[in-house]
C-alpha cells in the first residue's frame, strides 16, 4: 500500500521530477475517474503506458466526480482509487485534480503524449490543442466494448432489485385503501423498485372501486384495475392478477393495513438466491386469541397432511412468476395461498428453493376480517379436500401431478 501511495504526487512535485529524474523520459498522460477498476481500464492503461516511458494519470478528486456524476458517486474514495491504480506496475505517477477537466493540470505538467479513448475525436479532447502547440502528440486508444464503471454499477443495482407485480384485492375497504396504496407506492418508488399494482375491487358496495380508479388515473403506467360486480373470492382474484402480471416476481398485498410494504422491499434481494419467499409473523399477539388458535390448528393440519414444516402458509408469499405460471390453481377461497404454496414447492424439490422470513404484523387499520365468515370456512374446507385428493390420490397413484398446467 505504501508503494502504491508513493506514486501520488502534486502537480508541482511532478514538475520538479520532470526537470531532473524524468528529464529524458517521454511522458504519457491520461485522465479519468477510475472509480471501479475493471478489465477495460487495465487494457486501456497498459496500452497507454506502451506509448512512452512514464505513464501519469490525472485522477478526478471525489469532489470533482460528485459534480460530474452525482452525489452517489464515487463508489470508491480518491485514496482507494489511488491505491488501486498505484498497485499497477505500468502506472508510474498519479496526480489528483479538483477541477471538472484536467486542462490546468495538462498545461502545468506539459506531457509529451496525451491519450484518451477512441470514443473522442481529437478535436474534442480537453488539452489536445495545448499539447500539440507545445510540440507533443495526441493519441486515442480503442476502448474494450461493454466494459465501463456505469455498466458495473447498473448490474449491481439490477442484482439487488427485482421487478414485481403486486395484487391488491379489496372488498369494502374504502376506509383503509387510499392510505395503504399511498404507502405502497411511496415506499416502492423511494427504494427504486420496478413495480406494478393490480388492484381488484371484488364486489365492493362502498366507494372502494372509485378510489382504485382515482389511483389508476394518477399512475396509469403503474396501476391496473379489475372490477368484479359480485364477490368472486381471493383465489379467483389471484389468478386474474397473475394472468395479466408483467413483471418478474408476483405477490399479493392485503388492503387491511396489517402488513408493512417495507418487509417486502427488504427481502426482495433474496430472490437472487431463492425462488419463493415465505413470510411468517413473529408478533402474533396483535391478533385475537381466537384467531391465533384457529391459525395454529390450521397450520398443524396443513403440515401433517402434506408433510411440510412451514411456519405460516397464508401470508403474502413472493414468487418468481415463472413458477406460479406452471401451476394449475383452482381455489377461489382464502385457501388459494396454501394451495399455491404447496403446489409450488412440489414442482421440483431439487430445483425450487424457498426461504421463510420473519415479519412484523400491524393492527388492522379499521373494519373486520372476512376470513372467518361461515361460507369462507366451508369453501376453505372444500378446497383443502380437493388438494388432498390431487396430491395424495391423483399424484401418488397415477404419477400425474394435477398441480401442473
- pLDDT tens profile 229-275: 998 989 999 999 999 999 999 999 988 767 788 888 888 888 888 89
Residue 35's alpha-carbon distances to 40, 60, 76, 258, in angstroms, are: 12, 9, 6, 43
> Residue 364 has which C-alpha cell?
388492522
User: What is the C-alpha separation between 10 and 104, in angstroms, rounded?
Assistant: 13
User: What is the C-alpha separation between 146 and 37, in angstroms, rounded?
Assistant: 14
pLDDT at 140: 93
| pLDDT tens string 191-239 | 888 899 999 999 999 999 999 999 999 999 999 999 999 989 899 999 9
> Residue 396 has which C-alpha cell?
401418488
pLDDT at 353: 86
Judge whether residue 93 has pLDDT over 90: yes
pLDDT at 404: 55
* H or E segment and range at residue 340: helix 336-345
> Residue 169 has which C-alpha cell?
384485492
Judge whether residue 159 has pLDDT over 60: no
> Residue 24 has which C-alpha cell?
529524458
Q: Which of these, 298, 307, 286, 380, lies nearest to 349 by C-alpha position?
A: 307
Strand partners, 221: none
Task: Tell which wins on pLDDT, 97 or 389.
Answer: 97
Judge whether residue 153 has pLDDT over 80: no
User: What is the C-alpha separation between 305 and 5, in angstroms, rounded?
Assistant: 66
Are 242 and 321 within 8 A, CB to CB? yes
| pLDDT tens string 194-203 | 899 999 999 9
Q: Which of these, 56, 110, 52, 59, lies nearest to 81 by C-alpha position?
A: 59
pLDDT at 267: 87
User: What is the C-alpha separation between 170 and 177, in angstroms, rounded?
Assistant: 8
Please state the rounded mean pLDDT for residues 29-54. 94
User: What is the C-alpha separation between 83 and 3, in angstroms, rounded?
Assistant: 9
> Residue 3 has which C-alpha cell?
508503494
The model's confidence at residue 400, banded by pLDDT at 50, 70 and 90, is low
Q: Which of these, 122, 158, 144, lies nearest to 41 by C-alpha position?
A: 144
| Sheet strand arrangement including 164-170 | 223-228, 195-202, 164-170, 249-252, 318-320, 276-281, 354-359
Task: Tell which wins on pLDDT, 95 or 312.
Answer: 95
> Residue 316 has which C-alpha cell?
403474502
User: What is the C-alpha separation between 180 and 183, in angstroms, rounded?
Assistant: 5
At the top level of CATH, which class does the domain 2-153 belong to? alpha beta
- Cell numbers 477512441 correspond to what residue? 118
Please state the rounded mean pLDDT for residues 148-167. 74
pLDDT at 286: 65
Judge whether residue 113 has pLDDT over 60: yes
Task: Tell which wins on pLDDT, 57 or 174.
Answer: 57
Q: Which of these, 338, 283, 298, lies nearest to 315 by C-alpha position?
A: 338
Please state the rounded mean pLDDT for residues 326-331. 90
Q: Provide, rounded to the nearest whole percent, the portion of the chain with pLDDT above 90.
A: 55
pLDDT at 392: 82
Q: Which of these, 360, 379, 362, 383, lies nearest to 370 by C-alpha position?
A: 379
pLDDT at 369: 54
The model's confidence at residue 303, banded by pLDDT at 50, 70 and 90, is very high
The domains of the chain are located at: 2-153, 160-398
User: What is the C-alpha separation between 215 and 386, in angstroms, rounded?
Assistant: 38
User: What is the C-alpha separation between 150 and 41, in angstroms, rounded?
Assistant: 13
User: What is the C-alpha separation between 333 and 237, in angstroms, rounded?
Assistant: 10
CATH architecture of 160-398: Alpha-Beta Complex (3.90)
User: What is the C-alpha separation between 99 and 61, in angstroms, rounded?
Assistant: 8
| pLDDT tens string 370-395 | 555 677 788 889 999 999 888 887 77
Mean pLDDT estimate for the chain: 87
| pLDDT tens string 334-369 | 899 999 999 988 876 556 888 888 887 776 555 555
pLDDT at 144: 82
Strand partners, 196: 165
Question: Please, which residues have CB within 8 angstroms of residue 183's CB and are 6 or more apart in sequence?
Answer: 261
Amino acid at each position: 500500500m505504501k508503494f502504491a501511495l508513493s506514486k501520488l504526487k502534486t502537480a508541482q512535485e511532478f514538475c520538479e521530477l520532470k526537470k531532473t529524474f524524468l528529464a529524458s523520459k517521454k511522458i504519457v498522460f491520461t485522465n479519468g475517474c477510475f472509480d471501479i477498476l475493471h478489465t477495460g481500464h487495465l487494457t486501456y492503461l497498459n496500452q497507454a503506458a506502451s506509448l512512452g516511458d512514464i505513464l501519469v494519470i490525472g485522477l478526478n478528486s471525489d469532489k470533482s466526480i460528485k459534480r460530474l456524476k452525482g452525489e452517489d458517486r464515487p463508489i470508491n474514495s480518491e485514496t482507494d482509487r489511488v491505491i488501486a491504480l498505484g498497485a499497477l506496475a505500468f502506472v508510474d505517477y498519479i496526480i489528483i485534480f479538483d477541477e471538472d477537466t484536467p486542462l490546468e493540470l495538462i498545461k502545468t505538467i506539459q506531457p509529451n503524449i496525451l491519450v484518451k479513448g477512441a470514443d473522442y475525436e481529437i478535436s474534442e479532447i480537453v488539452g489536445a490543442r495545448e499539447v500539440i502547440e507545445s510540440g507533443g502528440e495526441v493519441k486515442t486508444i480503442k476502448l474494450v466494448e461493454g466494459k465501463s464503471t456505469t455498466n458495473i454499477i447498473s448490474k449491481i443495482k439490477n442484482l439487488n432489485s427485482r421487478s414485481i407485480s403486486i395484487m391488491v384485492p379489496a372488498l369494502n375497504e374504502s376506509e383503509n385503501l387510499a392510505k395503504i396504496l399511498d404507502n405502497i407506492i411511496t415506499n416502492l418508488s423511494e427504494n427504486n423498485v420496478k413495480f406494478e399494482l393490480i388492484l381488484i375491487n371484488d364486489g365492493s358496495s362502498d366507494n372502494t372501486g372509485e378510489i382504485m380508479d382515482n389511483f389508476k388515473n394518477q399512475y396509469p403506467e403503474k396501476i391496473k384495475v379489475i372490477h368484479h360486480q359480485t364477490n368472486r373470492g381471493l383465489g379467483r382474484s389471484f389468478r386474474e392478477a397473475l394472468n395479466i402480471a408483467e413483471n418478474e416476481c408476483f405477490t399479493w398485498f392485503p388492503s387491511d393495513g396489517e402488513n408493512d410494504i417495507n418487509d417486502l422491499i427488504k427481502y426482495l434481494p433474496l430472490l437472487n438466491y431463492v425462488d419463493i419467499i415465505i413470510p411468517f409473523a413473529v408478533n402474533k399477539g396483535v391478533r385475537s386469541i381466537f384467531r391465533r388458535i384457529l391459525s395454529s390448528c390450521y397450520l398443524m393440519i396443513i403440515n401433517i397432511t402434506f408433510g411440510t414444516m412451514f411456519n405460516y402458509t397464508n401470508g403474502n408469499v413472493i414468487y418468481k412468476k415463472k413458477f406460479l405460471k406452471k401451476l394449475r390453481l383452482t381455489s377461489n377461497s382464502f385457501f388459494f395461498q396454501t394451495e399455491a404454496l404447496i403446489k409450488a414447492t412440489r414442482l421440483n424439490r431439487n430445483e425450487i428453493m424457498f426461504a421463510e422470513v420473519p415479519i412484523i404484523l400491524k393492527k388492522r387499520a379499521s373494519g373486520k376480517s372476512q376470513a372467518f365468515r361461515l361460507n369462507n370456512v366451508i369453501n376453505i374446507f372444500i378446497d383443502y379436500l380437493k388438494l388432498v385428493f390431487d396430491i395424495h390420490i391423483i399424484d401418488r397413484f397415477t404419477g400425474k401431478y394435477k398441480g401442473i398446467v
